[in-house]
Structure 1
Amino acid sequence: MLQMMSTNSQVDASLDDDTNTNHHHHHQQQQEEEKEIMEKTEDYNEKAEMSKNRPFQPWWKQITLRSMVASVVIGGIYSVIIMKLNLTTGINPNLNVSAALLAFIFIRTWVKMVRKLGFVSAPFTKQENTMIQTCVVACYGIAMGGGFGSYLLGLNKKTYEQTGVNTEGNPPDSYKEPGIGWMTGYLFLVCFIGLFVLIPLRKILIVDYKLTFPSGMATAVLINGFHSMGDDVAKKQVKSFTKYFSLSFIWGFFQWFYSGQGECGFSQFPTFGLQAQKQTFYFDFSLTYVGTGMICPHIVNISMLLGAILSWGIMYPLIRKEKGDWYPENMPESSMRSLNGYKVFIPIALLLGDGLYNFIKITCITLTSMYAKLRDRRLASSGNPDENKAINHDPKQDEVFLRESFPLWIAPCGYIAMAIISTFAIPTIFPQLKWYYIVVAYIFAPSLAFCNAYGAGLTDINMAYNYGKVGLFIIAALSGKEHGVVAGLAGAGLIKSIIAVSFTLMQDFKTGHLTYASPRAMLISQAIGTVLGCIVAPLSFFLFYKAFDIGNPNGEYKAPYAIIYRNMAVLGVEGFSALPRHCLHLCYGFFVFGAGINIVKDLSPARFGKWMPVPTAMALPFLVGAYVAIDMCIGSVVVFVLDRLKTNKAELLVPAIASGLICGEGLWTLPASILALAKVKPPICMKFLAS
């Protein structure tokens, strides 16, 4: 991501140099060139480039009909793709750049079609591009963080049965089956309130503190690059996306014919042999995960492979040998008192070790930085000549960003009104979650949201999920054995959603700040995207839930985080009595290991620290399997090869190729789901047997 930023910055710098050179041309020659440009109405990019010199449009003109259509289409597609990733592996790549690129391609195609029909179309500006990206991210963000693969799905009966029926911390009736009505209502209650939390602090975080929000800045640099690069570059990106989108969609369609009942098809291809396949070491030919691996940093993919080797290659075969000693011999491996207990609780320990360390680290960084800012302000007010050592932003960016103010009453009134509604409404959905826990959560949420946004603005690490896990443990423990699991899972979603939505809005404000977009238009786009997400996400979830076997530990749609979150809640209620033999000792070790890796990484020189594995990434294959790590690493290999073959073009083509691979096979999921709902089965089952 940062490499893409630097590359695009160089492109922008070279374009600025060209502009400065053009100023030396004769004035008359420049007028003739401008007239010639105006006459080329077919050349879209030239007109868009000229529009940058016009006065900035008011906020209501930055939100257009075509941008809303694009947002609905792209947001819906990405919601389905993210839902599939949630319910298969739990991996959530950052698709901000991909959303911005797809918006650019969509509107370019729209403009060309309109002009071929003989109509005049307004130039596509980077502000409009930013609006679409903001709306799309808000929409698929609900599918990504709405709990459909974690805390909400962890409430269903199947996950309840897998965790252990009628145990002390998992009592009868401590489950709630998914429903479109209550899920949609819950999402509106817990997500919308996040829009009001940090609005009054946007000037402090973006302009005064000059926080970078690296992902938001990278997206802005790329959007600026899309609208300043030559038409040839844009055409290559569009061509690459279209080519790999088609390839991925056709490949998904082709695979379907061989994926009959049971473990069939290319997804079960024994790439490294049948024995390796039993330990989940194979390439499952999923272009979605290959594309995801192209977007994720190399160290994340390598970390997943290390986790797969450690778990499925070494630990699980050794634990199986202790069957009859560590756990009962006649107990199935899917039981939490059997091998599955180690598969679930060891990654929980890794996640908690990594999360707790980063929680403490980001908190310390936040407090230290805030203290330094306050001290600098005091020195500045006393006339210190070094009052402004920070990197200066373009004053015009600050001017545009601050030109439109929000009414002072909108944030507190909106927050208090939504809090009151939620306090009365959420207990009707979850009677186990008492109203006073909700009130306390809403009292502390604004300060937690500010700390999270500040820390993420410095480090690009969003801690919303960790705040949610802390809330899960606290509420589960306080609610008691009868109601603890349901209350903990519902409360975790409430806390996480407020913090996550407010962070997303602030990150998008950073993108808008750098692309001269209107803050009011961005807030409206975010609100539209949130409404769209609260409607589309439950619908896309039920498309999968009704068509496929969701939560089957031996199937494609394992939904690993559902059982992880459920067991976190059980752990908060029961304590460590829920663990099988020696599992607690392994959990202690992996907890220390997760925190220790981070400590070594932070204390080591940068050239060594960057190669330290990521504990959270290592934890995923423990439950999902090794095949996902292999897919992701192939994505890294593709990026490496592209870097070597097309050094100058790789940074521009990688996002387009990755987006095409993800969107193509992801979109095939829609017709595949419809066929499954219609009881249309694939005609062939391709299996591999030992000779």
Structure 2
Amino acid sequence: MEAGKGEFTVRAVVLGLIIGCLLCFTNLYFGLQTGWISMMSLQSALIGFLLSKLLPKPISAQENVVLQTTAVATGTMPLAAGFVGILPALGLLDEERDGASPVHLSWIAAVGWSCAVAFFGVFLSPPLRKQVIIEEQLAFPSGTATGQLISVLHQMPPPETNVRHRRGYNALASTEDDESIAYIAEPQETDTLRVPEAEVPEQEGWSALSWSFAASGIMTLAAYFFPVIFSIPLFGTYLASQWLWTFTPSLSYVGQGIIMGFPTTLSMNLGMLVGWGVLSPLAKYSGWAPGPVGDMTTGSRGWILWVSLAIMCSDSVISLIPVVYELVHTKLWKGVTGYGTDGSTGKDSKEDETEDRLVPTRWVVLGLCGSIVSGTLLVWLVFGHDGIKPWATLIGFIMGGLLSVLGVRALGETDLNPVSGLGKISQLFFAWIQPGNIIANIIAGGVAEAGAQQAGDLMQDLKTGHLIHASPRAQFYGQLIGSCLSIIVTTTAYSLYQRAYEIPGPSFPAPTAYVWLGLARLLRDGELPEKSGEFMVIFAVLFSAVAACKTYAVRSGSPYAKWVPSGVAFAIGFLNTPSFSLARLVGGIIEHVYYTRVGRENGGIRLIIIASGFVLGEGVVSVVSLVLRTFGVGVASCWGCGHGMCGGCPAA
């Protein structure tokens, strides 16, 4: 099929952009709330397939690949451009403490920043694809699962995945969850669905999507007018007001829990119990965090943040060790001796696409150089010479390219993109080359992380395309178009949220903004809250051992690997208040019970559709709530909000 002809079609791109815009609002909404984001590539392919049934002629499998690639590029910009971590962190700066005033970007400045980091990862993807997908044939389990789903939906023979049986394929066969779950500014924690072979009839699929979307949307709108619906005192008013123990029965959170799967939600809630049930009271009553529990500076919420950071960093570093070892030993050492990873010279390419369907090298070189030069210039224009010097931004892009190699390889092997650890490495480096400048530290970390995160997300899509024999050039076009539109959509949505809500604030705490700012302050001042250092060391050592066990179990293909606690998910339980974790546990339990009783082959796709409807319903209707708030339409009743945890009430 010449140069993607018949694949890169107007209808595939338009449907991808529509779905991607919905995902963009949804991801921004939940990212600012909880530090959670999803690629939703599998859901995009599924919803795109259902929508295409409304057209005179349904889309082909290859068009569906382009559709979901465009949707992912559009929907993940809130993470790639740092709207849920970097920008809120800059807004938290304190002139007296940090030597810099808070940075609040205007709409045009936020567009400039987004343009600076939006395309670097896209142009990194083609050369990385050739190495990790074609030559090394890494698994990329989430991308493989999406390819399997597309083959089922379009009644194609199952894609050939009988390549190098690395640990990623072992994970694909043994894990249960379905989609890339990215924790904002944290590693992308993923499990993979073993896609069922049975197809849900079209009418039944529409019905499930419609009622789940409507139920979630109605509940979200009701919670806007009666905020207590999403802030139920779990163990009484005292624990809710003083210790932040509330419950948010959000159907979207339940849907996210279904997507995450029971093992991940269980790890998150174990972290929540340790952080909020043990360490928070301990820090408060010991006098280490004397302020109000929810205070991120003097309260126990800010105190346990440091323990969370130690867990995430130790987990990321340990997970990267085997990847670095294999890269150095297998690729560099054996490359010097003239042998490839399979013991051959590796001179013959395994590429099965013709040149006219690939992205030309000239485009890649010009694109990388252009995105780096223009990105450096734009960052300088947005933040000024006092923010970050152009040479430092240039180094940030170079580091982003190098770290992307590690992140993409880790993702291909384990479905884990350790962008948290990679971002922290960049922060450590910039604390050395540009000491004392907190703004530069955060921006440089964001530049490096953006490249690693975006390259990893797009590599999953390229793996799907490789399995379905879609044109890489057509996917590349979709990625560029999706990224361009998402810059405007994300920036506009974020500006509206800023006008209507305090960010970070009660409704949108943006928890990972404190992670970025906290590490930048630590690297500058070297000061930690009282006794937090000791607990950081204890938990770092403990979860280094846990991460080593999990890494070994995944590499060996053990069916018990998924039950070893995830350090990242455990740490996320510290970052968010209990209300966010508990509802996801409900979804995880539903996923586990449903598949245990019904089986994946009989109802796997149906459950994905319902979970997708739950997630999209709240994300889309949140835009209605945003418009109501912008025009001054307030809540109908603050009844039951005496505990002060209802974000929508004036008294909260």
Sort the TM-score into its range (normalised by shorter chain): 0.7 to 0.9
Relative to the length of structure 2, the TM-score reads: 0.85
Give the drift of 1:198: 3.9
Q: 2:545 aligns with which of 596, 619, 622?
A: 596
User: Which among 248, 251, 254 is matched to residue 216 of structure 2?
Assistant: 248
Counterpart check, 1:659 vs 2:623: no
Tell me which of 124, 141, 145 is aligned to 2:80. 145
2:84 maps to a residue whose letter is G
1:457 maps onto 2:412 in alignment: yes
Instruction: Quote how far apart the aligned CAs of 1:400 are.
Output: 4.1
1:670 & 1:664 partners in 2: Cα distance? 10
Which runs of no fewer than 5 residues in structure 2 stay unpaired? 156-196, 644-652
Alpha-carbon spacing, 1:58–1:590, altered in 2? closer, same or farther (3 Å)? same
C-alpha separation between the residues in 1 aligned to 2:256 and 2:318? Answer: 26
Partner of 1:124: 59
Distance across 2 between alignment mates of 1:506 and 1:689:
48
1:285 equivalent in structure 2: 249
**CA offset at residue 533 of structure 1?**
1.5
Structure 1 portions without partners, runs of 5+: 1-55, 112-120, 260-264
Deviations 1:55-100 (A, max 9, x none): x465143222222321222111111110111111101234111111
Give the Å deviation of 1:479: 1.9
Q: 1:688 Cα deviation (Å)? A: 6.4
CA distance in 1, matches of 2:272, 2:142: 28
Conserved 8 A contact 1:401-1:519: no
Q: Which residue of 2 aligns with 1:32?
A: none
Q: Give 1:331 shift.
A: 8.2
Aligned partners of 1:362, 1:381: CA distance in 2, in Å?
A: 21
Whether contact under 8 Å (1:401, 1:517) holds in the other structure is no
Structure 1 pair 480–272 and aligned structure 2 pair: CA distance change class (3 A): same
**Partners of 1:446 and 1:256 in 2: how far apart?**
43
TM-score after normalising by structure 1: 0.80
**Cα deviation, residue 345, structure 1:** 1.5
Q: Does 2:108 match 1:178? A: no
Deviation at 1:593, TM superposition (A): 2.3
Match of 2:626 in 1: 673
Residue 533 of structure 1 corresponds to: 486
- SS in structure 1 of the partner of residue 339 of structure 2: helix
Counterpart position of 1:573: 524
Larger Rg: 1
CA pair 377-551 structure 1, distance change in 2 beyond 3 A: closer
Moved more, 86-95 or 127-136: 86-95
Counterparts of 1:17-416 in structure 2, within 5 Å, are: 56=1, 58-109=3-54, 111=55, 121-156=56-91, 159-161=92-94, 166-167=96-97, 170-173=98-101, 175-228=102-155, 233-259=201-227, 265-278=228-241, 279-323=243-287, 326=288, 334=295, 336-370=297-331, 375-376=339-340, 379-380=343-344, 399-400=352-353, 404-416=357-369
- Give the letter for the 1:166 counterpart: E
Q: Per-residue displacement from partner, 1:641-663 (whole Å, max 9, x unpaired)? A: 32244324221212101101001
Instruction: State whether structure 2 residue 472 is matched by structure 1 residue 472.
Output: no
Is the contact made by 2:262 and 2:591 (CA closer than 8 Å) also made in structure 1? no
How many angstroms does 1:336 deviate by? Answer: 1.9
Does the CA contact (< 8 Å) of 1:198 and 1:450 recur in 2? no
- Contact 2:31/2:510 (8 A) holds in 1: yes
Q: Name the counterpart of 1:585.
A: 534
> How big is the shift at 1:376?
4.6
Per the alignment, residue 624 of structure 1 pairs with 576
Q: Which residue type is aligned with residue 145 of structure 2?
A: A
Please identify, of 128-137 and 399-408, the stretch whose mean Cα deviation from structure 2 is larger. Answer: 399-408
SS at match of 1:375: coil
Distance 1:621 1:423, change over 3 A: same
Q: Is the 8 A contact 1:257 1:683 kept in 2?
A: yes
- Alpha carbons of structure 1 residues 411 and 602: separation in structure 2 relative to 1, 3 Å: closer
Secondary structure of 2:416's partner?
coil
Letter in 1 for 2:421: N
Partner residue of 2:395 out of 434, 440, 443 = 440
Let me know the Cα RMSD of the aligned residues: 2.7
Residue 192 of structure 1 and its aligned partner are, at CA, apart by: 1.0
Q: Deviations over 1:126-165 (max 9, x none)?
A: 1111111000101111113321121121001xx224xxx5
Aligned residue identity for 1:542: S
**How many angstroms apart in 2 are the aligned matches of 1:469 and 1:583?**
19
CA distance in 1: counterparts of 2:296 and 2:133, whole angstroms: 49
Are residues 249 and 401 of structure 1, via their aligned partners in 2, closer, same or farther at CA, if it must alter by over 3 Å?
Answer: farther
Choose from 490, 506, 512 the match for 1:561. Answer: 512
CA distance in 1, matches of 2:296, 2:212: 41
The aligned length equals 592
Work out the CA distance in 1 between the residues paired with 2:148 and 2:618.
28
Are the aligned partners of 2:308 and 2:572 in contact in 1 as well (CA < 8 Å)? Answer: yes
Tell me how far apart the structure 2 counterparts of residues 210 and 332 of structure 1 sit (CA, whole Å).
Answer: 49
Matched, 1:499 2:452: yes
Cα displacement string for residues 215-250 of structure 1 (whole angstroms, at most 9, x for unaligned residues): 111111111111117876333322211121111112
Structure 1 residue 183 displacement after superposition: 1.4
Q: Is the CA contact (8 Å cut-off) linking 2:89 and 2:516 kept in structure 1?
A: yes
SS at 2:53 equivalent: helix
The AA in structure 2 aligned to 1:585 is E
Q: Which amino acid is 1:547 matched to?
A: A
Aligned equivalents of 1:492 and 1:87: distance in 2? 19
Q: Counterpart of 2:99 in structure 1: which amino acid?
A: P
2:146 partner letter = T
Q: Mark the CA change 1:232 to 1:403 in structure 2 (over 3 Å): closer, same or farther.
A: same
Distance in 2 separating the partners of 1:401 and 1:650? 39
